[in-house]
Amino acid sequence: MVRTRESRAWRLPGFAMILLEAVLFAAMLWVHQNAGGHGLWILVIAFILVARGFFVVQPNESRVLTLFGQYVGTVSLSGWHWTNPFTMRRRISLRVRNFTSEKLKVNDADGNPVEIAAVVVWRIRDTAQAVFDVDDVVSFVKMQAETAIRALAGTHPYDAAPGRVTLLGNQDVVSRDLAQRLQERLEVAGVEVVEARLAHLAYAAEIAQAMLRRQQAQAIVAARQTIVDGALGMVHMALDNLVQSGLVDLDEERKASMVNNLMVVLASDQAAHPVVNTGTLYT
C-alpha cells in the first residue's frame, strides 16, 4: 500500500476573490444591458465557476481536496477560502474524540478470565492518511482499540504478588502501555492517541466468588500478621520495663507464662475475659 502524506493545498483568501466576483457581476449587467449574446453566457459560466470555488473552514477542522481522483492537499487554516472550483472538498474534523470500548472477556497473564473495558481519547493528526489509507477511520480506531485491549490483558495479571505489574494495582503503567500499543496500531491511519485508560476491570462471573474469597483470605492473613507483629513488640516492651523497674523478679517459667497470656490477650480476635484469683475457699 502506498502511504499518503498530508500536504498543504493551494488556496486564496475568499475576501480577495469576492472582488473578482463583483467585477464579473458588474460585467454581466453591462453586457446584458448593452450587448447580450454569447458574451453574457460566458460571463455567467465564469461567475458560477468562481462562486463554486468558495468554501469555509471552521476551527479545528480541515478540508481535504481532490481533483479528478488525485489528492491535491489539505486546508487546515480556519476562515473563508477560495480554490480551484473543480476540486472536491471533504470535511474532516480535527477535534478530540473519545469512546468507551465494549466490555471484553479475556484471559489475563495468569489465565484467569477477566472483564475489561477502556476509554480511548484520540484525534486525527494526518488528514490524508485518515481519508485515503483506511476505509473508515472511526471503525478502524474502535477495532484496533479492542485488539490492543485484548493484547494488554494477556500480558499482565489481574492481581499478583508485589513486584509484578498488575492491571489492578498499576493503573498508570497499564494506561501508558495501552496508549503505546494503540498508537503503534493507529499510526497507519494518521491518528494520535491522546489518552487511554481502563474504565472497567473485574473478574469474570464464573470465578468472581472464588477470587473474592481468595482476596478475603489474603487480607485476613495480612491483618493477623500485623496484629502478631504488634503483639510481639508490646510483649517485648512489657518484659523489658518489668525487668528494668525491678518490680518483680520473673524466672523463665513465669516469663513464658506471661508471654503466653499477653499474646492470647493481644492477638485474639475476641475480647479477653480475665479471671481474678482470690485465693482458695475451704469448707
At residue 233, the pLDDT reads 75
At residue 220, the pLDDT reads 66
CATH number for the domain whose boundaries are 97-203: 3.30.479.30
Does position 207 have pLDDT exceeding 60, yes or no? no
- CA dist 94 and 6 (Å) reads 13
Domain regions of the chain by residue span: 12-92, 97-203, 208-267
At residue 202, the pLDDT reads 85
What would you report as the CA-atom Rg of the chain, rounded to the nearest whole angstrom?
A: 38
- CA dist 113 and 175 (Å) reads 20
Residue 19's pLDDT band (cuts 50, 70, 90):
confident
In this structure, is the dihedral angle defined by the CA atoms of residues 174, 180, 186 and 190, taken in order, positive or negative? positive
Does position 15 have pLDDT exceeding 80, yes or no? yes
Does position 238 have pLDDT exceeding 90, yes or no? no
pTM of the model: 0.70
Does position 66 have pLDDT exceeding 70, yes or no? yes
Q: What is the mean pLDDT of the chain?
A: 82
**Tens-place pLDDT, residues 245-277:** 766 666 666 667 766 666 666 666 555 556 655
Q: What is the mean pLDDT of residues 155-173?
A: 83
At residue 60, the pLDDT reads 93
Least confident window among 39-53, 119-133, 215-229 = 215-229
What are the grid coordinates assigned to 168, written together? 489492578
